[in-house]
Amino acid sequence: MNHAAKPAGATRRVVIAAILCLSLLLGACQSGGKTTQTESETSPPTTTVAPTTTAPTTTAAPTTTPEPTTEETTTEPPAQGVIGTAAADLKEEDFAEYDNRMHSWWYDRVPAEQLGSGYRPGIIDVTVISDRFNGIWQHPDPEEKVIFVTMDCGYEYQNNTTQILDIAKEIDLPIAFFITKAFIDAARPALDRMPLEGHTVCNHSLMHKNGVKALEEEGLLAMASDIEDLANYYEETTGLKINPYMRPPEGAFSERTLAIYHAMGYRAVFWDMAHVDWKVDDQPDRDAALRQLVGELHNGTVILLHTCSTTNVSLLSEFVSTARAAGYRFASITEFPDVEPAAD
- As a whole number, mean pLDDT of residues 260-284 equals 95
Burial of 249 (0-12, 13-18, 19+ CB in 10 A): buried
Check if the beta carbon of residue 259 is closer than 8 Å to that of residue 287.
Answer: no
pLDDT-based confidence at 107, cuts 50/70/90? low
| 343: pLDDT strictly greater than 50 | yes
The answer on pLDDT for 339 being more than 80 is: yes
Q: Is residue 56 part of a domain?
A: no
Report which of residues 249 and 21 the model is more confident about.
249
- Total structural domains within the chain: 1
Cβ(134)–Cβ(140) below 8 Å: no
Q: Is 27 inside any structural domain? A: no
Looking at residue 143, its pLDDT comes to 95
Instruction: Compute the average pLDDT of residues 206-220.
Output: 96
Is residue 230, in this structure, part of any structural domain at all?
yes
- pLDDT, tens digit, 9 for 90 and up, residues 34-55: 333 333 333 333 333 333 333 3
Residue 237 has pLDDT above 70, yes or no: yes
Q: Which one has a higher pLDDT value, 202 or 15?
A: 202
- The band of 116, judged by pLDDT with boundaries at 50, 70 and 90, is confident
Q: Is the pLDDT confidence value at 298 over 70?
A: yes
Q: What is the domain-level CATH number for residue 228?
A: 3.20.20.370
Residue 284 located in a structural domain: yes
* Res 311 pLDDT > 70: yes
Distance CA 87, CA 102 (A): 21
Q: Tell me, what's the pLDDT at 142?
A: 93
Task: Tell me the HSE value of 271 on the side-chain side, using a 13 A CA sphere.
Answer: 23
Domain range for 195:
126-335
Within a domain: 343: no
Residue 38 located in a structural domain: no
**97 CB burial (10 A radius; 0-12, 13-18, 19+):** exposed
User: For position 248, what pLDDT does the model report?
Assistant: 96
Q: Is there a domain that residue 189 lies in?
A: yes
Q: What is the DSSP letter of 148?
A: E
Give the separation between CA 336 and CA 136, rounded to whole angstroms.
8
CA proximity to 129, closest of 117, 137, 121: 137
Decide if 273 is inside a domain.
yes
Residues whose CB is less than 8 angstroms from the CB of residue 220 and which lie 6 or more positions away in sequence, other chains included: 87, 90, 91, 92, 95, 260
